[in-house]
């Protein structure tokens, strides 16, 4: 890394300059304009000093505007650049002169366009940054979010503090990770989009984020990487202590072409990346959603005991699908222990509710006392590593809102480890309706780990359990020891 000391100020800045703030949001772009970043920082409640830069304005949104970073009277911990690509080199020279060393270049129009001129411009940006010692993120990125410091360049996403970091070449994916992650109960330490990685590459950022005590799980969205060997050896080491979740995109031909035109990245081939995952034990993900889902399990569950799982479900056909889904995702469904079966059969009727696994037991969903009793039995059963409860809220609410509320209270109590001490996950098998979204929010607010579907739950839980298996085989220290 160029210089790590001083870099942490970029994520807890006392002062931020935003270069290229005009009076209107540029309607051509979906991404971050200077004005939208200024407003996002206002909305988020950022407490430091903000310096919008625009040589042709004196005031925007009631804030004094400066003509250049050089005219700002205070030291700048972070400079966010949103001017057109051709104007970026001069701003960088100004940053060097102003000793503002942390720079995020959100402007696009560089190597990702594939055009010679634009590639040369990126080379020039790189040369200036290296010469001046700038810690430069980008170009072609969408900035950062640090909820604890109330910093965000992403407008209209919630700031949820927590232990999950994301390093993403795509600003759009970073944005979606913030949106979706918070719906499945993920909170964020630092979310950093780094675009074309002209200067700071993922290995530099990984060195920094590894040293951040708040971060317990690190997610990476990669299109390409310059130094694959370095990344492999870093992830190999870090992953034994902090799980590293990696979504490597662009592994198909069509994806690789898109990666080239998105961040100018060389995507690499599938065999090399398969070897990367095998060697490092990094947790593989295939989308923003999958990164968030497995992160949720890794941060909110105790260390995995294994993959032997009991699925409790309410419906017959769902049970058959559950068997297939678990098998396909590598979740084991051993038969119940004879003793557990006997005790369960004392209060679970066997008519249409054979005591198999998945356990079809609709009656449990209507009786908190029966649900508690069943969970106590599964807690005591040494052949059960975890439990997945597949809820169909529509089936429960039909019996009355109070029945549904009591069951959610009961499950929240169980999930808090009052009744059941092993990993527990809830999934909803309801279709996507506004009512279902309301229940999802209730479940999330109750602090229960949940997923929108059994498929997503099984995939996340299988990866979570595989992570612990890898760490145990590798003899690393467990995240739980930290």
Looking at residues 130 to 149 of the shown chain, list those that interact with its own copies (rule: CB under 8 A).
140
The interface region with its own copies, picked from 87-95, 229-237, 322-330, 461-469 by CB under 8 A, is 322-330
Size of the site for its own copies (CB under 8 A): 85
Collect all residues with Cβ–Cβ distance below 8 Å to 212 and sequence separation of at least 6. Answer: 165, 189, 190
Q: Pick from 104, 126, 176, 422 the residue near its own copies by CB under 8 A.
A: 176
Cβ–Cβ under 8 Å, residues 408 and 442: yes
Q: How far is the CB of 330 from its own copies (least distance, A)?
A: 11
Q: Helix 228-238 vs helix 202-210: angle between axes, to the nearest 10 degrees? A: 20
How far is 329 from 308, CA to CA, in rounded Å?
13
Q: Which helix (H) or strand (E) holds 468?
A: helix 454-474
Q: Pick from 96, 305, 321, 337 the residue near its own copies by CB under 8 A.
A: 321
Q: How far is the CB of 267 from its own copies (least distance, A)?
A: 8
In angstroms, the first-to-last Cα distance of the chain is 26
Q: Pick from 105, 249, 301, 426 the residue near its own copies by CB under 8 A.
A: 249
Q: How far is the CB of 470 from its own copies (least distance, A)?
A: 24
Among all chains, which residue has been given the structure tokens 């492999």? Answer: 232
Collect all residues with Cβ–Cβ distance below 8 Å to 112 and sequence separation of at least 6. Answer: 118, 140, 196, 260, 261, 262, 263, 264
Asked if 373 touches its own copies (CB under 8 A), the answer is no
Return the number of the residue (254 or 401) whose C-beta is nearest its own copies: 254
Cβ–Cβ under 8 Å, residues 167 and 220: yes
Return the number of the residue (81 or 100) whose C-beta is nearest its own copies: 81
Q: How far is the CB of 265 from its own copies (least distance, A)?
A: 9
Beta bridge partners of 311: 388
The interface region with its own copies, picked from 60-68, 90-98, 121-129, 254-262 by CB under 8 A, is 254-262
Q: Pick from 48, 89, 132, 172 the residue near its own copies by CB under 8 A.
A: 172
Q: How far is the CB of 208 from its own copies (least distance, A)?
A: 22
Half-sphere exposure of 28 (CA within 13 A, CB side): 2
Asked if 29 touches its own copies (CB under 8 A), the answer is yes
- Return the closest-CA partner of residue 29 out of 93, 108, 121, 94: 108
Q: How far is the CB of 421 from its own copies (least distance, A)?
A: 25
How far is 221 from 50, CA to CA, in rounded Å?
29
Phi, psi dihedral angles at 202 (to 5 degrees): -60, -35
Handedness of CA 102, 106, 112, 118 (dihedral sign): negative
Q: How far is the CB of 172 from its own copies (least distance, A)?
A: 4
Return the number of the residue (130 or 320) whose C-beta is nearest its own copies: 320
- Show the DSSP H helices in 301-351 as ranges: 316-329, 338-345
Asked if 154 touches its own copies (CB under 8 A), the answer is no
How far is 162 from 13, CA to CA, in rounded Å?
19
How far is 327 from 334, CA to CA, in rounded Å?
11
The contact pattern for its own copies, residues 337-366, with x = CB under 8 A and - = no contact, is ------------xxxx-x-xxx-x-xx-xx
Asked if 5 touches its own copies (CB under 8 A), the answer is no
User: For residues 98-137, which are near its own copies according to CB under 8 A?
Assistant: 108-109, 112-115
Return the number of the residue (60 or 256) whose C-beta is nearest its own copies: 256
On the question of a cis peptide bond just before residue 278, with omega within 30 degrees of 0, the verdict is: no
- Return the closest-CA partner of residue 297 out of 461, 123, 111: 461
The interface region with its own copies, picked from 63-71, 73-81, 308-316, 416-424 by CB under 8 A, is 308-316
Listing DSSP states for 124-146 in one string gives HHHHHHHHHT-EEE-SS---EEE
Return the number of the residue (102 or 169) whose C-beta is nearest its own copies: 169
Asked if 315 touches its own copies (CB under 8 A), the answer is yes
431 exposure class (CB count in 10 Å sphere: 0-12, 13-18, 19+): exposed
Q: How far is the CB of 429 from its own copies (least distance, A)?
A: 8
The contact pattern for its own copies, residues 380-409, with x = CB under 8 A and - = no contact, is ------------x-xx--xx----------
Return the number of the residue (321 or 380) whose C-beta is nearest its own copies: 321
Among all chains, which residue has been given the structure tokens 């220290």? Answer: 477
The contact pattern for its own copies, residues 409-448, with x = CB under 8 A and - = no contact, is --------------------x-xxxx--xx-x--------
User: For residues 193-222, which are near its own copies according to CB under 8 A?
Assistant: 221
Q: How far is the CB of 125 from its own copies (least distance, A)?
A: 15
Return the number of the residue (163 or 362) whose C-beta is nearest its own copies: 362
On the question of a cis peptide bond just before residue 476, with omega within 30 degrees of 0, the verdict is: no
């Amino acid at each position: 890394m160029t210089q790590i000391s001083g870099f942490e100020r970029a994520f807890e800045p006392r002062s931020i300059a935003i270069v290229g703030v005009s009076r209107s949001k540029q309607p051509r772009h979906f991404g971050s304009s200077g004005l939208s970043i200024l407003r996002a920082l206002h909305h988020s409640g950022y407490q430091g000093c903000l310096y919008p830069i625009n040589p042709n304005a004196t005031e925007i949104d009631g804030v004094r505007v400066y003509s250049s970073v050089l005219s700002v009277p205070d030291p700048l911990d972070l400079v966010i650049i949103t001017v057109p690509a051709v104007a970026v080199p001069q701003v960088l020279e100004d940053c060097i002169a102003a000793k503002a060393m942390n720079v995020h270049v959100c402007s696009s129009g560089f190597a990702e366009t594939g055009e010679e001129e634009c590639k040369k411009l990126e080379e020039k940006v790189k040369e200036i940054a290296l010469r001046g010692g700038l810690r430069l993120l980008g170009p072609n990125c969408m900035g950062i979010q640090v909820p604890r410091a109330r910093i965000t360049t992403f407008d209209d996403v919630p700031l949820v503090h927590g232990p999950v970091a994301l390093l993403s070449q795509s600003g759009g994916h970073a944005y979606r990770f913030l949106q979706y992650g918070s719906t499945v109960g993920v909170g964020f330490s630092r979310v950093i989009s780094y675009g074309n990685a002209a200067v700071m590459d993922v290995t530099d950022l990984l060195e920094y984020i590894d040293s951040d005590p708040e971060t317990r799980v690190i997610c990476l969205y990669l299109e390409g990487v310059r130094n694959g060997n370095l990344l492999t050896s870093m992830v190999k080491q870090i992953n034994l202590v902090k799980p590293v979740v990696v979504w490597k995109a662009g592994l198909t031909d069509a994806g690789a072409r898109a990666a080239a035109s998105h961040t100018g990245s060389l995507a690499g081939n599938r065999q090399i990346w398969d070897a990367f995952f095998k060697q490092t034990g990094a947790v593989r993900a295939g989308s923003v959603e999958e990164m968030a889902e497995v992160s949720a399990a890794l941060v909110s569950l105790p260390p995995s005991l294994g993959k032997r799982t009991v699925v409790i479900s309410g419906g017959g056909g769902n049970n058959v699908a559950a068997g297939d889904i678990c098998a396909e995702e590598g979740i084991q469904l051993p038969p119940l222990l004879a003793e557990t079966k006997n005790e369960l059969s004392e209060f679970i009727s066997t008519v249409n509710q054979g005591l198999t696994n998945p356990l079809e037991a609709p009656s449990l969903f209507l009786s908190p006392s029966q649900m508690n009793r069943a969970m106590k039995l599964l807690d005591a059963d040494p052949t059960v590593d975890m439990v997945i409860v597949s809820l169909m809220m529509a089936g429960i609410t039909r019996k009355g809102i109070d029945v549904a509320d009591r069951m959610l209270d009961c499950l929240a109590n169980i999930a808090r480890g009052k009744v059941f001490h092993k990993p527990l996950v809830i999934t909803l098998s309801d279709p996507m309706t506004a009512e279902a979204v309301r229940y999802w929010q209730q479940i999330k607010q109750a602090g229960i780990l949940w997923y929108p579907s059994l498929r997503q739950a099984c995939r996340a839980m299988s990866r979570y359990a595989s992570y612990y298996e890898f760490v145990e085989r590798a003899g690393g220290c467990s995240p739980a020891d930290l």
